[in-house]
Chains A and B, each alone.
Chain A
Amino acid sequence: MSETLLEVRDLKTSFNVKRSGRKYRLKAVDGVSLSLVSGEVLGIVGESGCGKTTVGRSIVRLVQPDSGAIQFRGGDVLGARGAALRDVRLNLRMVFQDPYASLNPRRSIGDSVAEAGDINGVFKSRADRAARIAETLSAVGLEPSFATRYPHELSGGQRQRAGIARAILPAPAVIIADEPVSALDVSVQAQVLNLMMDLRERLGLSMLFISHDIGVIGQISDRVAVMYMGRVVELSDARTILDRAMHPYTRALMAAVPKPDPSQRIVGVVETGEPPSQFNRPTGCAYAARCPLASERCLAEAPLLRPIGPDNRLVACHNL
């Protein structure tokens, strides 16, 4: 059952950026290791700019990592060619955050949904193509007649359904969903989350589910990786992290989520500081400046992920 589908080892990805005339090398992802077993949903949570999207884009080869290895079913992803590459392309698929930007305004929904199949020569005939588009649209809760419509005729939620349809035709092994519900209204967000949970069961999908919203992550994930400034700081089962977060950053993050309960107000007591500049990363623990537990060692030495406690949990912190 628990075959390891996707394995990311010590991934490092950086970008050249120009800031006030000077060139910097921005380390967006700085040594991330993850693995995804079949049928599992691994949530990645963290604040904006912490490198979540970059991890996803590196896996689907939209950016070239500086170093590290990515394996899909034991085969190399970054160096894949020919039939192996086609296999990777069809099995690792991405859903994007912004439903308004992720569909080409000049292509019909049907053409967009069929794109992976068209590119990789999956369809046997025009009739086969039309039938599978219709089937996929139904699977995501859209009328098959949407195939001939254009994105501007759809609401945000419908567009995101179309974006999901594009990622499951033909059915992949893994979906990398980058904040798929963040741009949606709460009521529509719930519909789309339910759809993703349905599809996961029906198609036996595994997912890397990226979000900045702890609530959404807790809803859908089996395991959760918490990222801070390009690194994973805590990784464990969803319940373990949600109920008993250990890393000081995870704890601050959980505490800051506004609880929909007026009797549990926290407003007025929190001053959690701001993340340091990404252009000059501190040598030691990146969280040291905001951390209540910080010690001498934290300034000098970056903590590595290590198992702590009984819950099969990994934490990167010196002082636990």
Chain B
Amino acid sequence: MNRDGIALWLTPFLARPIALAGLCVLLAMVIAAAFAPWLAPYDPYAIDPVSRLMPPDAVHWFGTDQFGRDTLSRAIYSARMALLIGAGVVFFALITGIPVGVLSALFPRLGHVLMRIVDVLMAFPSLLLALGLIVILGPSVANSILAIGAGFMTTTTRIIYGLALRLRAETYVEASRSMGSGTWWLVTRHILPNLISPLLVQASFVFAFAQLGAASLDFLGLGAPPDIPSWGNMLAESRTFITRAPWLLFFPGMLIVLTAFSLNLVGDALRDRLDPRFRDVFGGEG
């Protein structure tokens, strides 16, 4: 992508400060995850019986928990789990959604069957689906990704199906078919390249909701093992101290909301970028 291209992608963020803020939050999260050992002031696992349930102060900015572990350090390390779950869920949703959605659009009879199955799956509330799967598979990080991903796979498939149906009717696809192109050609040269942008938007939303899903599973004790730092686990552990140490609830809770909210803002901005009217205003046309 050339410099103009990058400028074009940045325009919707620059035009809307709140979306830019969202982007910055996400960047901060990635940095936190990548440099956690350097950024975290303490070892997130280090137990310090002396300073248990300390409120936030100059030494422990976010306070400490019932074992005297530093909440800030644990919150920073938790960004890793958040990114892992988010990326895993997005990957799972796309790796299943793209082939099912695209093939369903290209082969109407197959699509008819597959889309009915997707409809049935969509009838389950996604948290219930995730819970059910965890009960069957047992709790673990990988299984959380699978369980949450299953819920998003259906909506992602539906969206891809809809987009691919529209693309299939495009004149340039007709033109290609009239010259004898096969399925592989259509998918790789015409459908997928035109799916990339809208899927970027969908991915940002899936990423956001995956955060909420993971937090819910962790909170119920069905997600990541309790010793691994994650915002959901932090919430779950602190719930018995809610009146004595509200900060234990406040910081991870805030981070979950902030992350999900930022991702939604970014998704909105990306969607605006893809809106052709918007593109005209900002000179994307010839």
A interface residues with partner B (beta carbon < 8 Å): 57, 60-62, 85-86, 89-90, 93-94, 96, 98, 101-107, 111-112, 115-116, 119-120, 152-155, 163, 166
- Cα distance A179–B143 when bound, in Å? 56
- Cα distance A86–B180 when bound, in Å? 7
Which of B43-51, B53-61, B166-174 lies on the face that meets chain A? B166-174
CB-based contact A115/B194 at 8 Å: no
For B286, list chain A residues within 8 Å (CB): 152-155
For window 160-189 of B, CB contacts with A under 8 Å fall at: 170-172, 174-182, 185, 189
B132 at interface, CB cutoff 8 A: no
B125 at interface, CB cutoff 8 A: no
- Cα distance A120–B171 when bound, in Å? 20
CB-based contact B175/A96 at 8 Å: yes
Taking the nearest CB of chain B, how far is it from the CB of A150, in angstroms? 9
For B175, list chain A residues within 8 Å (CB): 94, 96, 102, 115, 163, 166
B227 at interface, CB cutoff 8 A: no
CB-based contact B176/A96 at 8 Å: no
- Cα distance A98–B285 when bound, in Å? 17
Q: Given A119-B180, A119-B181, check contact A62 B193 (CB 8 Å).
A: no
- Cα distance A96–B174 when bound, in Å? 9
> Which chain A residue lies CB-closest to B190?
A104
CB-based contact B180/A89 at 8 Å: yes
Taking the nearest CB of chain B, how far is it from the CB of A294, in angstroms? 38
Question: Given known contacts A62-B174, A94-B178, A119-B180, what 12 new A-B pairs fall within 8 Å (CB)?
Answer: A57-B174, A61-B178, A89-B179, A98-B171, A102-B171, A103-B172, A107-B193, A115-B179, A115-B181, A120-B179, A120-B180, A154-B286
Find B177's partner among A62, A90, A106 (CB 8 Å cutoff).
A62
B284 at interface, CB cutoff 8 A: yes
For B172, list chain A residues within 8 Å (CB): 101-104, 112
Find A104's partner among B178, B180, B193 (CB 8 Å cutoff).
B193
For window 21-41 of B, CB contacts with A under 8 Å fall at: none
> Which chain A residue lies CB-closest to B279?
A152
- Cα distance A119–B184 when bound, in Å? 11
For B177, list chain A residues within 8 Å (CB): 62
- Cα distance A166–B174 when bound, in Å? 13
CB-based contact A101/B171 at 8 Å: yes
CB-based contact A85/B194 at 8 Å: no
Q: Which of A85, A86, A104, A153 has the most CB atoms of chain B within a 10 A radius of its CB? A: A104
For B190, list chain A residues within 8 Å (CB): 104, 107
Tally of B interface residues using CB under 8 Å = 20
CB-based contact B180/A85 at 8 Å: yes
CB-based contact B180/A62 at 8 Å: no
For window 139-168 of B, CB contacts with A under 8 Å fall at: none
For B194, list chain A residues within 8 Å (CB): 104-106
Q: Given A102-B172, A104-B194, A153-B286, check contact A60 B185 (CB 8 Å).
A: no
Taking the nearest CB of chain A, how far is it from the CB of B279, in angstroms? 9
Q: 5 closest pairs, A vs B, by CB? A: A89-B180, A106-B193, A116-B179, A101-B171, A60-B178
For window 173-213 of B, CB contacts with A under 8 Å fall at: 174-182, 185, 189-190, 193-194
CB-based contact A62/B178 at 8 Å: yes
For A104, list chain B residues within 8 Å (CB): 170, 172, 189-190, 193-194
Taking the nearest CB of chain A, how far is it from the CB of B229, in angstroms? 42
- Cα distance A85–B176 when bound, in Å? 15
Q: Could you show 14 A-B contacts with beta carbons less than 8 Å apart?
A: A62-B177, A89-B180, A90-B179, A94-B178, A96-B174, A98-B171, A102-B172, A103-B172, A115-B189, A116-B179, A119-B185, A152-B284, A154-B286, A166-B175
- Cα distance A112–B176 when bound, in Å? 9
- Cβ proximity bits B71-92 to A, threshold 8 Å, 1 near / 0 not: 0000000000000000000000
CB-based contact A119/B179 at 8 Å: yes
Q: Which of B174, B190, B284 has the most CB atoms of chain A within a 10 A radius of its CB? A: B174
> Which chain B residue lies CB-closest to A112?
B172
- Cα distance A163–B172 when bound, in Å? 10
- Cα distance A98–B172 when bound, in Å? 10
- Cα distance A306–B193 when bound, in Å? 51
CB-based contact B284/A115 at 8 Å: no
For B189, list chain A residues within 8 Å (CB): 104, 107, 111, 115
- Cα distance A178–B172 when bound, in Å? 14
- Cα distance A62–B190 when bound, in Å? 17
For B178, list chain A residues within 8 Å (CB): 57, 60-62, 89, 93-94
- Cα distance A207–B81 when bound, in Å? 63
- Cα distance A29–B190 when bound, in Å? 29
For A119, list chain B residues within 8 Å (CB): 176, 179-182, 185
- Cα distance A154–B193 when bound, in Å? 20
> Which chain A residue lies CB-closest to B172?
A104
- Cα distance A291–B194 when bound, in Å? 49
Q: Which of B175, B193, B284, B286 has the most CB atoms of chain A within a 10 A radius of its CB? A: B175
CB-based contact A101/B170 at 8 Å: yes
- Cα distance A285–B105 when bound, in Å? 40
Taking the nearest CB of chain B, how far is it from the CB of A157, in angstroms? 12
- Cα distance A57–B194 when bound, in Å? 24
